[in-house]
Amino acid sequence: MQTDSTQAAANERIELALGDITSEHVDAIVNAANSGLRGGGGVDGAIHRAGGPEIMAQCREIGYCAPGEAVITGAGRLPARFVIHAVGPVWKGGGADEELLLASCHERALELAREHGCRTVAFPAVSTGAYGYPPELAAPVALAATIEALKRLPRIEKVRFVFVDEGLLDTYERALARLRTHAQ
């Protein structure tokens, strides 16, 4: 059973920021990847462009990652040490286990980070772009899953969610404030 202090400590290890995830100086950045690990648009494309061909070569070796799961590669030319490719769900209206899969890919990404000695991790807003997950529904799921994982993973010191636009940042800030209020 988790204590209130454990909940508070997990909450305090989450930051939200505007920025470019490819510029984050963290141990691992999380990529909003597709199952085929083929690269794509949005965050996925930006990470592959900035990190260089080494990341794609490693993704080809891995070959596949199921929705709700994550795999790890080196970070190429990025300032991070690793890229964790998390495959979130495609939004299908909410009745296709989207919430479970979104929570799972966040938890799995953090478990991989811990397994590889990472203390700092940066996430994008997984599944909220091309996969169509409504940000106002994705934010509380992603943040709650992260908080739960951090309770089990005390060696991860900081998780930073990085957004390219103020609308997403605002949505996640409101969701985090609600979770923090609920935890008190």
Report the half-sphere exposure of 20 (CA within 13 A, side-chain side). Answer: 10
Q: Which of 37-41, 175-179, 180-184 has the lowest mean pLDDT?
A: 180-184
Q: Which of 4, 20, 44, 165 is catalytic?
A: 44
Supply 53's token pair. 């061909």
Mean pLDDT over each residue of the chain, to the nearest integer: 94
Host H or E run for residue 14: strand 14-18
pTM summary value: 0.94
Q: How far is CA 172 from the centre of its chain?
A: 13
Annotation says 4 is catalytic: no
How many domains would you assign to the chain? 1
124-180 pLDDT tens trace: 999 999 999 999 999 999 999 999 999 999 999 999 999 999 999 999 999 999 998
Q: CATH no. for residue 103? A: 3.40.220.10
For 99-140, write each residue's pLDDT tens digit. 999 999 999 999 999 999 999 999 999 999 999 999 999 999
Q: What is the dihedral angle through the alpha carbons of 118, 155, 33, 127, rounded to the nearest 10 degrees?
A: -150
Please give the C-alpha separations between residue 15 and each of 18, 121, 148, 168, in angstroms, as whole numbers: 10, 10, 15, 14
Domain of 147, in residue numbers? 4-183
Report pLDDT for 8: 55
